[in-house]
Structure 1
Amino acid sequence: MSKHVVIDPITRIEGHLRIEAVIDDNNVIQEAYSSSTMFRGIEEILKGRDPRDCGLLAMRICGVCTGTHYQRSIEAVEHAFGVTIPKNARLVRNLMQGGLYIHDHIVHFYHLHALDWVDITKALEADPKKTVEEAQKWAKLSGQRPWNASEDNYAAVQERVAKYVKQGRLGIFGNAYWGSKAYKLTPEQNLIGLSHYLDALELQREVAKAQAIFGGKNPHPQSIVVGGVTCVQDIKNPVRVAEFKDIIQRALKFTKQAYLPDVYMAGTMYADEALAGVGGGLGNFMSYGDFNLDDLPFYDSAKLFPSGVVMNKDLSKVYDLDQTKITEDVTHAWYEGTTNKHPYDGVTNPNYTGFKEKKDGIAYLDTDKKYSWIKSPLYDDERMEVGPLARMVVGVARGDERITKYVTTFLKNGNLPTKVLFSTVGRTAARAIETELMCEEVINWCDELAANVASGDLSTWTEFDFDKVAKDAQGYGMAEAPRGGLGHWVKIKDGKVMNYQAVVPSTWNAAPKDYKGRLGAYEASLVGTKVVNPDEPLEIIRTVHSFDPCIACAVHIVDTNGKELAVYKVDPLGGCRA
């Protein structure tokens, strides 16, 4: 008899995500449904505002990728106005965006995803001496010494966590499927992962500081404006540039000595799943491209990550990206209508139809009708996956020398065939590969910025006549966020925003079925997965986490009827109470 499993909410992500799966008698997932159970509002708030202010509000779409929403919004307005930014501004934006990638990827792997591979409780059974030897083995694959590997350190980590266990509470490691047979690492390997989890807490704080050097603060930086950037004094100060570079160099060292070896370790121990393509999903990959390498407008500039589309895992063919082919379908989303619309003409009118009737005390999604607050984006009427794996796949398919070198080196060092990329393991590995690449490129941009300033170029902003360019215009900002393709589209009339739409990575990946009944990326990645224990669906969590869900980004609506949802009184001494 089949079993209907509900996981709500999916934890260790940004936002509220529900996954339902129908599992057969052999514990294989036959059907899967992804639903955002929250709605919120930004796009409607932007209507009627000065377009130069959009970035400061649009970054509030998310509390994680604030800077990349900020930049995409600013670029959309620059595109509408026909403004090209100076070299220093381009480099600083690349540094801020690169810092975000590095921070996001390290936090994702260790603090949001690693515990899907690492059994914390088994780490307490490890022999610290054998753990050192194990760490050396995996670091050697990339020609490195292991990060923070000593008997004393590993023993101290065990003692630290054992205290939580003895007290009957695991704190940040609580409420997990510890002991599940779906875990495959040895006790020593689990201890390595646990140790690096704690080390990464310190590192991510430092990388966040780096983002604030040019952004003014983190999250929600303040230094990007239409036409360039405002952090003039930080650009002119070689000490600030050197400080940023030093932090990224430490991140690169951690990536080489801990992150990559840990992914080699996990990939090897879960190689059977990777080879079988568990979690592979749609097989259609799309990248908008990111990081401008010259001083042309973003839509004409050469890019570190090239744009393109790869269909059916076919690396021999790549299609050029055409933003006019992007539409959003709402057949199975809680909005009015069903017609596909391009973001310039996007409409966001809520139509919440609720869940099915309860059965055995559980309310199930009405999956034949509408069941999510996320729309279903399509590219040329096809479902797509976006993210680090898509960027690596498109880069290899494009024949990009830089990306191909990093991907092939990783596969060669791990003695892995290319097909393992099309799996949950491969999606996780792509982030680690990209982090190493990103660290090294950011370091180069630091040197490029310092040299350009030293040559006497202090320009950070391009002047424009707002009254002339902002009468009636439209523009888009399209690049990548750490989680995948991110686009902002704006229409301007009489100098004010007439319409605004954002299509974000988790809109592409976390979407429900479309008007043809085709699955979204999360849903497709789960179908066919065998679950060891349906009551402890670790495999579902692991695959969904490999996308790094950000549901807050994917839903941006507001009650436009002016209905009062809640009233809050702020007490300066006692906090906030409803």
Structure 2
Amino acid sequence: MSKSQHIIVDPITRIEGHLRVEAVIDENNVITDAYASSTMFRGIETILKGRDPRDAGLLAMRICGVCTGTHYQRSIEAVENAFDITIPKNARLVRNLIQGALYIHDHVVHFYHLHGLDWVDLVDALKGDPKKAQEESFNWSRTPYGVSESELIQVKERLAKFVKQGRLGIFSNAYWGSKAYKLTPEQNLIATAHYLQALDLQRDAAKLMAIFGGKMPHPQSLVVGGVTCVQDIQNPARIALFKTLLKKFTHFIKTAYLPDLAMAGVKYVDEALDGTGAGLKNFMSYGDFKLDDTGFYNAKNLFPSGVVLNGDLSKLHPFDQSKVAEDVTHAWYDASGPQHPYDGTTNPNYTGLEKKDDGYAYLKTKEKYSWIKSPIYDDHRVEVGPLARMVVGVAAGDERITKYVTNFLALLGDKLGLGKPAPTAALFSTVGRTAARAIETELMADVMIEWVDELAANVASGDLSTWTEFDFDKVSKDAKGYGLAEAPRGGLGHWVKIKDGKIENYQAVVPSTWNAAPRDYKDRMGAYEAALIGTKVADVSQPIEILKTVHSFDPCIACAVHIVDTKGKELSKFKVSTSCSI
């Protein structure tokens, strides 16, 4: 390649929603500029205006088709914060268990079914020798999961049928054979087997959410003031079922997910050590999973809150929700400047794409180019998600998080023959971001055992309270509140203003808003964009490196009504009434 190229990857596949990335790649195949754009519009906030705040959660959970329960809970917590309600211990534990189940389900599905194929060449697995693969598995786990020689023979036969028929189904349209893949055929065969096994096992994690949530997706047992699953927590069989399914899924996490991540980490360690995909190195966590009942935002959290800037783990900046703002300089909205969510507006102003002579439509990168706003914290662009939570936890000196991070780095260092743990700085990379999610999954699965035992013991002691009574007419006249916690993909905040018992204004700033945002009013990049800069692409026609880094954030660009095709042609227009008669 003699000169730079401007390429489009649209849609970014294996995510929730539609996401476009445009990248400028120089003559050395290095990305020098990048732009991330959501081509879908979300208008739930507008629909919520004028409604009863106690009903907000049921609508807000429709913001996403994946993290339904976490939007549900954040919305309810925003109203509880506005009304100054502290929920009972049983309700806190039930909510922790429902959200924890969402974490372990989401993270495992993400690694194997949404992100794993960026690291694993599934077609190359056909070259793998099942016997050698079985032997290889013991290099990564003392008790490897589901990869005996006979099981791997069956996996290989299934794959061979797909390839022979030319029908790869869910494995089609990938960059098989790319020079960017580094696992051996046997390692690819191991990971492919776990991919298929995880398809079955993820149902158990979904059942975990449904036991106390009522159903999955869109659980229905959370209400302002607590939870409604009274009979479930009083039934020892229900609690025992939860614990049994949790232990089964935890076994897969420890004997398949973590070993596979270590296997990939060793093969791609050069990308971790050179910081490929590091990006902003500014990390923020709202904090989440309350461990006591000392008040709405006074409780000790499993994940501490705070901000780490420039990758400096020696200094943790306290988090202050008043410093959150959203800017729309490069987003398809109108606003006078950065707005705090309490005063946030959602005024669409779609200015379109730029048609060029090659027949394609490109983002107007000097103007507005995304349906995602640009969140700012204290005038910093920040990254949120599992890596942010682990980084903030280590910076906060949290004993539990530091232990799990150190254990994984020690495992990686041992497999690399370093004689010491791998450096913490290796986490500041695409590989590290992916590893942080696995570290967090193990931590969450272990602590959930503690929570379910705590719930059983509390109920057995005679405490059956699940709801805090409140006088709606008294507390709901004029109030405002926020629900800030951590979704699997990162910091999720819902802000609500209530007037005369009805919602006057509502804003949700979701994890992929923080990470997938376009440039801001100072022309500073969002997390996706910054993470792509400096990445070397092996083959511009198969830019798997772009997918790998963007997928490491676990993108979720959901719930839209605006659609454009690849050449910018308008397909349809929809007018939706956001008012209703109650």
Normalised by the size of structure 1, how large is the TM-score?
0.95
**3-state SS, counterpart of residue 139 of structure 2:** helix
Partner of residue 25, structure 2: 23
Equivalences for 1:298-377 in 2 at 5 Å?
A: 298-377=296-375
**3-state SS, counterpart of residue 81 of structure 2:** helix
Contact 1:85/1:462 (<8 A) preserved: yes
Is 1:244 the counterpart of 2:242 in the alignment?
yes
User: In the aligned structure 2, how far is the partner of 1:100 from the partner of 1:525?
Assistant: 26
Partner of residue 169, structure 2: 171
User: In the aligned structure 1, how far is the partner of 2:355 from the partner of 2:129?
Assistant: 52
**Deviation digits for residues 305-356 of structure 1, max 9, x if unmatched?**
0000000000000000000000000000000135000000000000000011
Is 1:9 the counterpart of 2:18 in the alignment?
no
* Residue of 513, 519, 527 corresponding to 2:533: 527
User: In the aligned structure 2, how far is the partner of 1:556 from the partner of 1:274?
Assistant: 38
**3-state SS, counterpart of residue 35 of structure 1:** strand
User: In the aligned structure 2, how far is the partner of 1:19 from the partner of 1:323?
Assistant: 30
User: In the aligned structure 1, how far is the partner of 2:349 from the partner of 2:315?
Assistant: 40
Q: Structure 1 564/6 Cα, relative in aligned 2: closer, same or farther at 3 Å?
A: closer
Contact 1:348/1:557 (<8 A) preserved: no
Deviation at 1:148, TM superposition (A): 0.8
* Residue of 562, 565, 573 corresponding to 2:574: 565
Partner of residue 478, structure 2: 472
**3-state SS, counterpart of residue 192 of structure 2:** helix
Partner of residue 421, structure 1: 427
Equivalences for 1:226-241 in 2 at 5 Å?
A: 226-241=224-239
Q: Which moved more, 1:250-259 or 1:18-27?
A: 250-259
User: In the aligned structure 2, how far is the partner of 1:550 from the partner of 1:108?
Assistant: 11
Is 1:444 the counterpart of 2:450 in the alignment?
yes
Partner of residue 50, structure 1: 52
Gaps of at least 5 residues in structure 1 are 568-578
* Residue of 488, 493, 498 corresponding to 2:494: 488
User: In the aligned structure 1, how far is the partner of 2:561 from the partner of 2:405?
Assistant: 35
**Deviation digits for residues 185-233 of structure 1, max 9, x if unmatched?**
0000000110000010111111101100000000000000000000000
Q: Which moved more, 1:365-374 or 1:416-425?
A: 416-425
User: In the aligned structure 2, how far is the partner of 1:193 from the partner of 1:564?
Assistant: 44
Deviation at 1:298, TM superposition (A): 3.0
User: In the aligned structure 1, how far is the partner of 2:428 from the partner of 2:205?
Assistant: 30
Q: Which amino acid is the alignment partner of residue 325 of structure 1?
A: K
Contact 1:43/1:557 (<8 A) preserved: no
Contact 2:409/2:423 (<8 A) preserved: yes
Gaps of at least 5 residues in structure 2 are 414-421, 564-571, 577-582
Q: Which amino acid is the alignment partner of residue 565 of structure 1?
A: F
**Deviation digits for residues 496-532 of structure 1, max 9, x if unmatched?**
0000000010000000000000000000000100000
Q: Which amino acid is the alignment partner of residue 471 of structure 1?
A: K
User: In the aligned structure 2, how far is the partner of 1:514 from the partner of 1:109?
Assistant: 30
Is 1:551 the counterpart of 2:557 in the alignment?
yes
**Deviation digits for residues 250-292 of structure 1, max 9, x if unmatched?**
1111111000000100010001111000000000000000100
Equivalences for 1:116-135 in 2 at 5 Å?
A: 116-135=118-137
Deviation at 1:244, TM superposition (A): 0.8
Is 1:38 the counterpart of 2:44 in the alignment?
no
**3-state SS, counterpart of residue 59 of structure 2:** helix
Deviation at 1:564, TM superposition (A): 7.3
User: In the aligned structure 1, how far is the partner of 2:407 from the partner of 2:275?
Assistant: 21
User: In the aligned structure 2, how far is the partner of 1:298 from the partner of 1:370?
Assistant: 38
User: In the aligned structure 1, how far is the partner of 2:297 from the partner of 2:493?
Assistant: 12
Contact 2:374/2:518 (<8 A) preserved: yes
* Residue of 88, 91, 94 corresponding to 1:89: 91
User: In the aligned structure 1, how far is the partner of 2:447 from the partner of 2:388?
Assistant: 19
Deviation at 1:419, TM superposition (A): 1.2
User: In the aligned structure 2, how far is the partner of 1:93 from the partner of 1:229?
Assistant: 8
Partner of residue 465, structure 2: 459
Deviation at 1:556, TM superposition (A): 9.2
Deviation at 1:464, TM superposition (A): 0.3
User: In the aligned structure 2, how far is the partner of 1:300 from the partner of 1:472?
Assistant: 23
Is 1:203 the counterpart of 2:201 in the alignment?
yes
Partner of residue 212, structure 1: 210
Q: Structure 1 231/329 Cα, relative in aligned 2: closer, same or farther at 3 Å?
A: same
Q: Structure 1 411/50 Cα, relative in aligned 2: closer, same or farther at 3 Å?
A: same
Q: Structure 1 174/556 Cα, relative in aligned 2: closer, same or farther at 3 Å?
A: closer
Contact 2:286/2:306 (<8 A) preserved: yes
User: In the aligned structure 1, how far is the partner of 2:89 from the partner of 2:40?
Assistant: 40
Contact 1:389/1:426 (<8 A) preserved: yes
Count of residue pairs brought into register by the alignment: 558
User: In the aligned structure 2, how far is the partner of 1:113 from the partner of 1:441?
Assistant: 25
**3-state SS, counterpart of residue 375 of structure 2:** strand
Q: Structure 1 163/564 Cα, relative in aligned 2: closer, same or farther at 3 Å?
A: closer
Identity %: 73
Q: Which moved more, 1:334-343 or 1:365-374?
A: 334-343
Deviation at 1:413, TM superposition (A): 1.0
**3-state SS, counterpart of residue 548 of structure 1:** coil
User: In the aligned structure 2, how far is the partner of 1:274 from the partner of 1:49?
Assistant: 48
Contact 1:307/1:320 (<8 A) preserved: yes
**3-state SS, counterpart of residue 137 of structure 1:** coil
Deviation at 1:248, TM superposition (A): 1.1
Contact 1:99/1:207 (<8 A) preserved: yes
Q: Structure 1 431/490 Cα, relative in aligned 2: closer, same or farther at 3 Å?
A: same
Is 1:279 the counterpart of 2:277 in the alignment?
yes
Contact 2:561/2:574 (<8 A) preserved: no
User: In the aligned structure 2, how far is the partner of 1:320 from the partner of 1:566?
Assistant: 43
Deviation at 1:417, TM superposition (A): 1.4
Partner of residue 405, structure 2: 407
Contact 1:285/1:386 (<8 A) preserved: yes
Q: Structure 1 564/420 Cα, relative in aligned 2: closer, same or farther at 3 Å?
A: closer
User: In the aligned structure 2, how far is the partner of 1:126 from the partner of 1:43?
Assistant: 51
Partner of residue 104, structure 2: 102
Contact 2:405/2:439 (<8 A) preserved: yes
Partner of residue 520, structure 2: 514
Normalised by the size of structure 2, how large is the TM-score?
0.95
